[in-house]
Amino acid sequence: MTRPVKPIRKAVFPVAGLGTRFLPATKAMPKEMLTVVDRPVIQHVVDEARSAGIEHFIFVTGRNKGVIEDHFDSQYELERTLADRGKKSELANLINDLPGAGQTSFTRQQAPLGLGHAVWCARDIVGDEPFALLLPDMLHHAKSPCLADMMKAYSEHGGNLVAVAPVPEDQTHQYGIVGVKDAKAKVSPITKMVEKPARGSAPSNLHITGRYILQPEIFGLLANQERGAGGEIQLTDSMIQLMDDARQPFHAVRFDGTIYDCGSKIGFLTANVAYALARDGLGTELRTELKKLL
């Protein structure tokens, strides 16, 4: 018999990062608004959350990020013009993408103190319920969306869940890394977590990919979290406390699709090609053009 678990209704999106790796494109525009094909990166990630059943979208923003708020609002003049011109499908798509009234919240991270601090900034909006956390830089491309897979695992196991995927051994120091009971299983209890382990000391090659389901007790730990790797308040350090000291269950959910790190130029460019190749009405023509270029 499965245990009853509190539903996951809310998702947090930390979008306060400066995007210095994409200057000058990100001088006046948030990096999350860069487009993969014709949708901003943040829209792809919100799509993933919506398709997993999330009802409330919480954005932790910063200065110069106001356009993200505008993007998830209706645009009356545009909608009126599309309606007047009979552009029915464009209008329907725009409306379909829009979260419903009261389904978005925005708060600001006032200083770049790290991912743990960004998540903590959402504590009052999340309240006393479990929530999903999606890092917008990491696009998870798969037939079955990553967060939907995690929701399925959550309904069975409850507790806290982290999506993981293998990385080459020489890259483990760039990520949060987990050790698991059964490295081949789709869902496995986590035995160890470490943020950006020194080279040669990682407990496995499974990295934390940027999709989480967390219990609200994480906020109390984040409130007192000392600075960790890179001098930042690290989410992983509070997760370790939640697992080891508070004895809450943590499971890893293996993600079997492809991950594009849109925080790097190469990841962003590759994501554009991969998403375009997979798009009806675009893929075939793009393949021909790419062949000419290569």
The residue ranges that bind ligand G1P (CB under 6 A) are: 115, 135, 138, 175-176, 195, 207-208, 210, 234-236
Smallest distance from ligand G1P to CB 115, Å: 5
Smallest distance from ligand G1P to CB 98, Å: 28
- 115 vs 121, beta carbon nearer ligand G1P: 115
Q: What CA–CA distance (Å, rounded) separates 122 from 125?
A: 5
Q: Which residues of 226-243 are buried (b: 16+ CB within 10 A; e: fewer)?
A: eebbeebbbbbbbbbbbb
Q: Which residue is nearest to ligand G1P (CB)?
A: 176
- Number of Cβ atoms within 10 Å of the Cβ of 93: 12
CB within 8 Å of 174: residues ≥ 6 apart: 167, 196, 207
- 36 vs 235, beta carbon nearer ligand G1P: 235
Token pair of 171 as six digits = 């890259």
Q: Which of 116, 111, 120 is nearest to 234 (CA)?
A: 116
Smallest distance from ligand G1P to CB 215, Å: 18
Smallest distance from ligand G1P to CB 206, Å: 10
Smallest distance from ligand G1P to CB 234, Å: 6
* DSSP alpha helix (H) spans, the chain: 41-51, 66-71, 76-84, 88-97, 115-120, 123-126, 146-157, 218-223, 235-244, 265-277, 283-293
Distance, C-alpha 234 to centroid of its chain: 16
Q: Which of 171, 170, 189, 167 is nearest to 179 (CA)?
A: 189
- 150 vs 276, beta carbon nearer ligand G1P: 150
- 151 vs 202, beta carbon nearer ligand G1P: 202
Q: Residue 165: what residue type?
A: A
CA distances in angstroms from 232 to 79, 112, 162, listed in the order given: 43, 8, 20
Alpha carbons within 13 angstroms on the beta-carbon side of residue 291 total 7
- 58 vs 178, beta carbon nearer ligand G1P: 178
Smallest distance from ligand G1P to CB 210, Å: 4
Smallest distance from ligand G1P to CB 205, Å: 12
- 209 vs 215, beta carbon nearer ligand G1P: 209
- 202 vs 276, beta carbon nearer ligand G1P: 202
